[in-house]
Amino acid sequence: MDPIALHYDVSGTDFTCAGEASGKIKKALKELGFPTSITRNVAIAVYEGEINMVIHGGGGVIDAEITPECISITLTDQGPGIPDVSLAMQEGYSTAPDNVRQLGFGAGMGLPNIKKYTDEMVIETEVGKGTTIKLKVFVK
Amino acid sequence: MKISEIKNILEADLICGEEFLSNEIFTACGSDMMSDVLAYVKEQAMLLSGLVNPQVVRTAEMMDMKCIVFVRGKQPDADIIELAKERDIVLLRTQFEMFTSCGLLYKNGLKGGCGR
């Protein structure tokens, strides 16, 4: 099969809609017949990324490329960038404001969770320019 | 444990999802931090939370969770209920606090797990 490409815009202001794109990607993978563990891992990773995009990145875009062997996701924002990626990857480290914590996020688990549920994770970030996170989940 | 038994043990009100009350739940996770929930993957799990916003339903959706219990009598609004209906997720509401709710379910045989 030819790779299937999906594209979603993520609002940077509407927290209630955060997760729309992740849900649609999950639904698409389910309909394509991928196993539950794969659809769930992709959904969780993309959802954490989408939440980060809304909290920190001022919104952005999510692109998915799906083949029978691999699901590749690219999350791109034009936000403030991540000054210290290794610090951001530590469980419990968070720069999220208090109002985000009241919404159930900002525990410093976002990036560690993304890594946990994916086979490959590459972060390209530049302070003042934005962040791109590239993820791969292989279908074994 | 069937969702209907969970409803009885927690003396909970059914908010939506009556048609799924006979579905089985194997494990439960109680948290107000959605990122902690997202670190916890188990088959046929349910979520107990004192947090009421659409992200609770979306978190359950990503995790394939079949049921959410809102503790301390928290009432979700119409948008949250609609979101759950569209995703075939049962919503329950109990007056018990989080600790008591988890304790009652655990005592009656529902197990938790560790997030790793």
What is the domain extent for residue A46?
4-138
Residues of B in contact with A15 (CB under 8 A): 55
- Gyration radius of chain A's alpha carbons: 14
Strands (E), chain A: 4-10, 60-66, 70-77, 120-126, 130-138
pLDDT in the model for residue B113: 67
Q: Decide if A92 touches B, using CB distance below 8 A.
A: no
Counting every residue written for chain B, the total comes to 116
pLDDT in the model for residue B31: 93
pLDDT in the model for residue A107: 87
Say yes or no for a CB contact (<8 Å) between A105 and B39.
no
Instruction: Enumerate chain B positions whose Cβ falls within 8 A of a Cβ in A.
Output: 32-36, 38-39, 41, 49, 51, 53-56, 58-59, 61-64, 79
Start-to-end Cα distance in chain B? 23
Q: How far is CA B25 from CA A39, A57, B38, in A?
A: 20, 37, 18
Compute the nearest-CA separation of A84 from chain B (Å). Answer: 21
Most confident of A13-17, A96-100, B10-14, B42-46: B10-14
| ipTM at complex level | 0.91
The arithmetic mean of pLDDT across residues A12-36, rounded, is 94
Compute the nearest-CA separation of B102 from chain A (Å). Answer: 19
Q: Which of B56, B63, B64 sits opposite A104 (nearest CB)?
A: B56
DSSP string, A72-103: EEEEEE-S---S-HHHHTSTT-----HHHHTT
Backbone angles phi, psi at A88, to 5 degrees: -65, -25
Residues of A in contact with B55 (CB under 8 A): 15, 18-19, 51, 103-105
Q: Which of A44, A104, A112 sits opposite B55 (nearest CB)?
A: A104
| Number of CB atoms found within 10 A of residue B65's CB | 26
CATH number, residue A21: 3.30.565.10
In the structure encoding, which two tokens stand for residue B56, read together? Answer: 């609770």
Task: Report yes or no: B54 and B78 within 8 Å, Cβ to Cβ.
Answer: no
The arithmetic mean of pLDDT across residues A65-87, rounded, is 96
Task: Report yes or no: A43 and B60 within 8 Å, Cβ to Cβ.
Answer: no
The residue assigned the tokens 């990122």 is: B35
Per-residue pLDDT of chain B in tens (116 residues, 90 and over written 9): 999 999 999 999 999 999 999 999 999 999 999 988 998 777 789 999 999 999 999 999 999 999 999 999 999 999 999 999 999 999 999 999 999 999 999 999 998 865 55
Edge to edge, what strands does the sheet with A4-10 contain?
Answer: A4-10, A60-66, A70-77, A130-138, A120-126
Mutation choice for A interface testing from B31, B32, B38 by most A CBs within 10 A: B38
Domain count, chain A: 1
Q: For chain B, which domains are there?
A: 3-107 (3.40.1390.20)
pLDDT in the model for residue A72: 98
pLDDT in the model for residue A82: 95
Q: How do B90-93 and B13-16 pair as beta strands?
A: antiparallel
Distance CA A112, CA A38 (A): 18
Q: Is A81 left (phi over 0), alpha (psi -120 to 50) or beta?
A: left
Short-list B28, B38, B17, CA closest to B85: B17
